[in-house]
Amino acid sequence: MTRVLAIGIYADIDHTALVEEEGAAMLATLDDLAGMPQADRDRIEAVAYRGHAPFGPDQMALLPRLRVIANNGVGYDAIDVAAATERGIVVTNTPGVLNDDVADLAVAMLVAQSRDFERGMRAVRDGSWAQTGELPLARKLSGRTVGILGMGRIGREIADRLVAFKCRIHYQSRTPKDTPAGWTYHADPVDLARGVDDLVVSVVGGPATEGMVSARVLDALGPDGVLVNISRGSVVDEAALIEALEQGRIRGAALDVFRNEPDVDPRLARLPNLLPLPHVGSATVETRAAMGALQRRNLRAMLEGHAPETPVNDPAAVVRQAAGG
């Protein structure tokens, strides 16, 4: 029986590589783990994970020899990293390789929402353009002041792209970053929203950012503002967002992520001033191939006794914890 278990739905190229190169056993969902024979589970040392279901202590306990959880994606909020560290398990993710795709999409969504692409496409497709004539005027993006909530790798790529649109850049992060002259730092999300026209959310998910985009942030953004979220649905207070969109307290939103996805709140999905996408930030052939390759390199490095390329927790600390120190 293999030492490697892959959990999740993988593209054919990744499925083939996991089976043929890593000898992985495949499970469609994390829920299937408990159904594996105990003798098979006892041999597993590495998990390649692709999913959003919580991977916590109960699941880890089913794999007593587990040494690494290699996540397919930059966001790892589904994995209980503290629990993994306590058990001597290294967690890795796949940052960097998806920055361009996610940043491209964020800017595209901001453009599409500002210029009302969805209404325009619908008018052409249903023939109403010929009957009603010109559509209402949209809004210009170039020259606006845009806030980036979370100036990490992806946030910086988004900001760099928006500079080409002659946008003024404001940002919020835990500490000021080394940025070009003229970019404005804010220590508080409400203060950031108050100082910009539009707001792009690019923070990590998890308890620390739960509901960070609150009713106060949305009210600070104001009735001419557009919210774009390409991070995690948990970052936005969806009830507050629905009210703000319904009442016109912000002009619009463009979301690639949602709470409880793929089961999107129908009150949100049907709003005409929402541009929704089904979590496709990294969904290109090139980027998904690069993510899968990095996931497998991390997994293979751990099994061969080497340091992984992109650990989430400190491998040295994990080793100390496993040794009881």
Residue pair 195/155 in contact by the 8 Å Cβ criterion: no
CA distance 193 to 187: 11
- Residues 6 or more apart from 60 whose CB is under 8 A from it? 66, 80, 83, 84, 87, 89
Between strands 184-186 and 25-27, the pairing is: unpaired
| Active-site residue (options: 50, 186, 232, 251) | 232
**Residue 170 falls in the annotated catalytic set:** no
**Residue 243 falls in the annotated catalytic set:** no
| Active-site residue (options: 15, 43, 279, 300) | 279
Burial string for 305-319 (b: 16+ CB within 10 Å, else e) reads eeebebbbbebeebe
Q: Other C-beta atoms within 10 Å of 74: how many?
A: 23
Q: Inter-axis angle of helices 117-125 and 99-114, to 10 degrees?
A: 70
| Active-site residue (options: 45, 86, 118, 261) | 261
Residue pair 142/163 in contact by the 8 Å Cβ criterion: no
**Residue 306 falls in the annotated catalytic set:** no
- Residues 6 or more apart from 317 whose CB is under 8 A from it? 85
- Residues 6 or more apart from 70 whose CB is under 8 A from it? 46, 47, 48, 49, 92, 295, 296, 298, 299, 302, 308
**Positions marked catalytic:** 232, 261, 279
